[in-house]
A and B are shown apart, each in its own frame.
Chain A
Amino acid sequence: MVTDRRVFGVFPNEDKAMDVIQEMAGKPWRLERVHSPFPSHRVAAALKVKKSRVGYFTLAGGFLGFLSGIALAIYTAVQWHLTIWGKPVVAWFPFIIVGFEFTILFSVFGNVLGLLVLGDLPDYDGPELYDPRCSGEHFGILAACPEGEQEGLADFFRSKGGEARVISA
């Protein structure tokens, strides 16, 4: 399928956008992305969106944090011995508290990093095709079609209650 022509449709609500997404399945057009003002579970289900892998970043951060916290506590303890009676210099129980806090801290760093990397943020140039109303109450759908079918795709969007913009490649 030739997909060098794109049409951007703007729909006034989720129901109309969902109609389009569902009907697009049987058409020779390719749905590229959907913009929505809030995370729509219906859209995600219709697009069969896979689970994000941001958790791997979070998990890696957590491991790194725990090891860093414990390592810092042990390193500093052996650098300056506070020997009190027979109590251990490397004391695991208090150090686990430090390790725990570092685990949370670095997990969150990993989480944010994952969001930025996977979500392609910051993206100040923005997508070429976008309508600011999609941050309010409208839903935007970008679809690609073969050369010569862009008017058909635009008419389809309009027939579903949307506005359509035909974009050249």
Chain B
Amino acid sequence: MKENAALTYSEVDRTILDTLSPPSGGYWLLIMLLVLGVLAGAACWTYQIFVGIGAGGQNHPVMWGTYIINFVFWVGIAHSGTLISAILYLFRAGWRNPIARAAETMTVFAVSIAGLFPFIHVGRVWVVYYMLPYPNQRNLWPNFQSPLVFDMVAISTYLTVSVLFWYTGMVPDLARAREAAAGLRKKIYAIISLGWTGKHEQWRHYGRGYLFFAALATPLVVSVHSVVSWDFALSVVPSWHSTIFAPYFVAGAIHSGLAMVLTLLIPLRKIFHYERIITMDVLENVAKTIVFTGLIVGYSYGVEHFLAWYSNNTIEKTTFFWRAFGHYRVEFWTMIVCNTVVPLFFFFKKIRTSIPWLFGISILINIGMWYERFVIVVTGVAHDYIPHAWGLYGPSGIELGILVGSFCLFFLFFLLFVKHLPSISMTEMKETVAAGESHGH
């Protein structure tokens, strides 16, 4: 018998609404630790603002260091949320229903955090509004031919669309939470649920609108990481100037995001007793998708190296050789093993249905994907055309502090979310139950 064979509407509601009950002391302890981590990151940034951008380790020739690595990493994490909530919705993949809300939430928080890094990286953050196209006495406007400005437009669009998609999808659930809550909570849910009552007229427009949201988010997600890749690919730097970058980045983004989905969902499932909703079949399907994206990523690594060899361009060949066997070889091989070899273990059913293996592999992929961005961002410029201008990069303590702070901020947001808003879509789960589907398939 399947784990979800006897799932009922009331059980769906009860299980999910129970997560909104007052949290335990352990929850607040965890929140406090994460707040401390965020404060440490904020202190590092404050120090950098006062001392100057030199507090970070970026210097000639590696002018993009950990901040841009983090930026690309967090944008990538965001992408699989949209894959699950929008693309798999269009494909009518029922197994995405139990995890779509958490994945969308991950998208919103990850893009928000990614959006912080250009601010941190520009140094003089108080003039960050220069990036906006506003009339000014110097008649100086952003250059819309620059991939960096494409990026600003794309990321702000992505954040806005993700937030609206996430919120719109949650409105019927907020109405359900409103009915179950009391006191101040009830008032808050009443306001944010917009007075939703599930009239058939409301569902008529909602269903259509949600479909359009998914249809619009799908090309957007592909465009956003393509645009991020063009930050690199449109510059004439060996190992960056490549037409494969856009699909390579999109696949990598989804690969890392799916791993983060597992990292978040496995504890969530255990702590909130979601086993009958987020079934092993669902986790298994995420693992299978990771195998698919891992193969694409592995293929992309291969093609990059093949193109360098096949072009017979000395600079390209040297750069790629140095990448694999030079100063950053440990980072390079960490990337290769974690992103392309480790996911292959999911070919074995025993491994992809084992919680410890799923969790462990997801962590390794997260690490590997962070190193992928390190290898891309650092190695090309560290070892480009002119040997006397070569140089090495290592993150400073300030950069590492901000990195830790960003992870703490992400997990802090997520922990606050799971105790205050429905972390699984009750509406979509009820649709699944009504359709009599096993959402594992």
Contact = CB atoms under 8 A, between A and B. Distances in A.
Nearest to B143: A82
B160 A126 contact: no
22 contacts: A34-B199, A47-B200, A55-B212, A77-B145, A80-B139, A80-B141, A82-B145, A94-B145, A98-B144, A98-B149, A102-B157, A107-B216, A108-B164, A112-B209, A115-B206, A121-B196, A123-B197, A125-B195, A127-B199, A135-B178, A137-B9, A137-B13
Interface stretch (B52-60, B332-340, B378-386, B427-435): B427-435
Contacts of A40: 200, 203, 434
A24 B191 CA distance: 35
B393 to A, nearest CB: 30
Interface string A9-44: 000001000000000000000000111111110011
Interface residues of B, number: 59
A117 B13 CA distance: 29
B154 interface: yes
Interface in B187-234: 190-191, 194-209, 212-213, 216, 219-220, 223, 227
Contacts, number: 183
Interface size class of A (residues with CB under 8 A): 35 or more
Given A119-B205, A135-B197, A79 B216 contact: no
Contacts of B407: none
Given A40-B434, A108-B216, A137-B13, A126 B195 contact: yes
Q: Which of B165, B194, B203, B430 has the most CB of A within 10 A?
A: B203
B195 to A, nearest CB: 4
B280 interface: no
Interface in A98-133: 98, 100-102, 104-105, 107-108, 111-112, 114-115, 118-127, 130, 132-133
Most chain B beta-carbon contacts within 10 A, residue among A39, A69, A77, A98: A39
B243 interface: no
B197 A36 contact: no
A111 B197 contact: no
Nearest to A142: B199
A105 B205 contact: no
Given A35-B199, A124-B190, A135-B197, A79 B141 contact: yes
B141 A76 contact: yes
B153 A76 contact: no
Contacts of A43: 200
